Structure 1
């Protein structure tokens, strides 16, 4: 797809050699659900339909300091290890965007992964094209490097990824639960570990959070997240953009689900562990365990990995459960504070 007649098509190509089999790298690229974990600029992906070859996606991504969304069609050619993509209905200044991912076999079990982009900009303005080229190039290089790091990890991806959830049942209206989750700017005064939080909303439903949290060891660490809010569905999805410790990526969702028993508020998390941090962090609780095993520069051992998974699960779970419980208290206390009509006036007309 090359744009409308008369439009200038801009082409970019980025490649990287990866010390992993081509099939393993292609499997990472084909895994749409996990793309926010290995793609630094992708905030959230929702698959709208998929027939086994062609999929239609809604993608939110960071581009040039802002969050933009687009419809994306991807067509997978697994026998060729190739994925075509076409962006539909992108945001200004992009008029059209398409391209493909390819993975080729190299020597000694290595592979070469390449991403190509073709795009046009509205009006053909050179400054807009240059800016879009910089953004697309930066994102492509970051995504390739992240793919390389994950594909080359000695631990399997399934061992480095953990998914879990916390939930609380509440006797209160779902609207008030969602309201508390949405108003994250109020959290620092309620959560002891959160020292500071600045919330900005550059466009309706998109929130940028910058905050400081106190870790269990007493250290204060900066953090940042992007949140996408869907009030009619009772959902807030997020991606932590400044992870800490052994966490390479962290995505998740807050959701409010009414059922026949009341309302359940849920926090879902998916975390990608950073294998290099597990190998190098001498101050971490698993460092002594690694030393005792004399594992040297080899892969992370199952015992170290399990300890890291448990510690991360506990730390994130403790925080999210505290937020869920506060949301429940907020909803239930608001209901209790509503004025009640007396028996004498309950049957009278207003």
Structure 2
């Protein structure tokens, strides 16, 4: 006889209105901005208040992907969810977000999970319990931080893009971007690169990169490869100035050419600004530096992808 499902509950108090907090939870597209464990999140379908979503997230240090059905109730400020495609060792997972208004204008967020492990294994159940506890605590704390951070416009995440247009083969262009482990031999600003691949298009890319100032730093990014036209990523080991860095590479038609675009979404860590840039530095200075360094590296990568794709095509035509 199967064991009864386990139920875990986590709560946090947030000094912000219940409606605002509820709408942040309902907008799953923002989850990678808010929640540290979430690599990428997407709404697959919507029928009124019933929603199908897919999440790519880190659980106990392992990247996983699953699909959930959600039932949204904006009046009661609740979101019920149940995984329809699980990731081992989870056999069943469901739960609920509740946003409860408080008399002082703030709210309490209650997150519950109900789950079973594959084969009702005690070891697997403990693995799930540890992942649920770790991720729930992180998500609730970061939900509160995101609300507080975004109340200050200077600290809100900002997004920018760089793009090139080319007649090069889009399949080869995507191959260049997708094979991150080869970047140290293809990109001057990448000193070292290694990549591990998982299921569902998940990758972990570790790089040591050079900035325009000649400094180097190590970054680690989880990536979601959606061949042949989109590759998303989230940095989990960040440069000192950044509190958030997510991005994506996309390839799209542009008349008779192809447009290859790099998009970054970045938030500055205000506590690091003066430590890194000096006592007179501001958040605006840090934003300009992040825009310059990340944009420069993106353009160099895009231009290298175009050159590589062109050279590969030329070699194929010549038979060499």
Alpha-carbon offset, residue 111 of structure 1: 2.0
Contact 2:164 2:261 in 1 (8 A): yes
Q: Which residue of 1 aligns with 2:229?
A: 234
Q: Which residue of 1 aligns with 2:270?
A: 278
Q: Which has the larger radius of gyration?
A: 1
Quick check: 1:332 aligned with 2:318?
A: no
* Deviates further, 306-315 or 62-71: 306-315
Quick check: 1:76 aligned with 2:75?
A: no
- Cα separation, partners in 2 of 1:157 and 1:87, compared to 1, 3 Å: farther
TM (norm. structure 1) is: 0.83
- Of 160, 167, 176, the residue aligned with 1:180 is 176
Alpha-carbon offset, residue 195 of structure 1: 2.2
Separation of aligned partners in 1, 2:284 and 2:61: 36
Q: Which residue of 1 aligns with 2:245?
A: 250
**SS of match in other structure, 1:153:** helix
**SS of match in other structure, 1:321:** helix
How many aligned residue pairs are there?
319
Structure 2 unpaired stretches of 5+: none
Alpha-carbon offset, residue 257 of structure 1: 2.2
**SS of match in other structure, 1:177:** helix
Alpha-carbon offset, residue 214 of structure 1: 3.0
- Which structure dedicates a bigger proportion of its chain to strand? 2
Contact 1:210 1:224 in 2 (8 A): yes
Contact 1:243 1:249 in 2 (8 A): yes
**SS of match in other structure, 1:282:** helix
Alpha-carbon offset, residue 286 of structure 1: 7.7
Q: Which residue of 2 aligns with 1:22?
A: 18
- Cα separation, partners in 2 of 1:154 and 1:262, compared to 1, 3 Å: closer
- Cα separation, partners in 2 of 1:316 and 1:119, compared to 1, 3 Å: same
Contact 2:65 2:200 in 1 (8 A): no
Q: Which residue of 2 aligns with 1:223?
A: 219
**SS of match in other structure, 1:324:** helix
TM (norm. structure 2) is: 0.91
Separation of aligned partners in 2, 1:66 and 1:108: 40
Q: Which residue of 1 aligns with 2:295?
A: 317
Separation of aligned partners in 2, 1:266 and 1:109: 42
Contact 2:39 2:234 in 1 (8 A): yes
Separation of aligned partners in 1, 2:211 and 2:162: 20
Separation of aligned partners in 1, 2:74 and 2:152: 21
Q: Which residue of 1 aligns with 2:188?
A: 192
Q: Kindly report structure 1 stretches of 4+ aligned residues shifted beyond 6 Å.
A: none
Alpha-carbon offset, residue 230 of structure 1: 2.1
Alpha-carbon offset, residue 19 of structure 1: 2.4
When the two chains are superposed, the root-mean-square deviation of aligned CA atoms in Å is 2.3
**SS of match in other structure, 1:241:** strand
Separation of aligned partners in 1, 2:27 and 2:154: 12
- Of 22, 27, 31, the residue aligned with 1:31 is 27
Separation of aligned partners in 2, 1:47 and 1:93: 24
- Of 132, 135, 147, the residue aligned with 1:151 is 147
Contact 1:19 1:109 in 2 (8 A): yes
Contact 1:174 1:258 in 2 (8 A): no
Quick check: 1:212 aligned with 2:177?
A: no
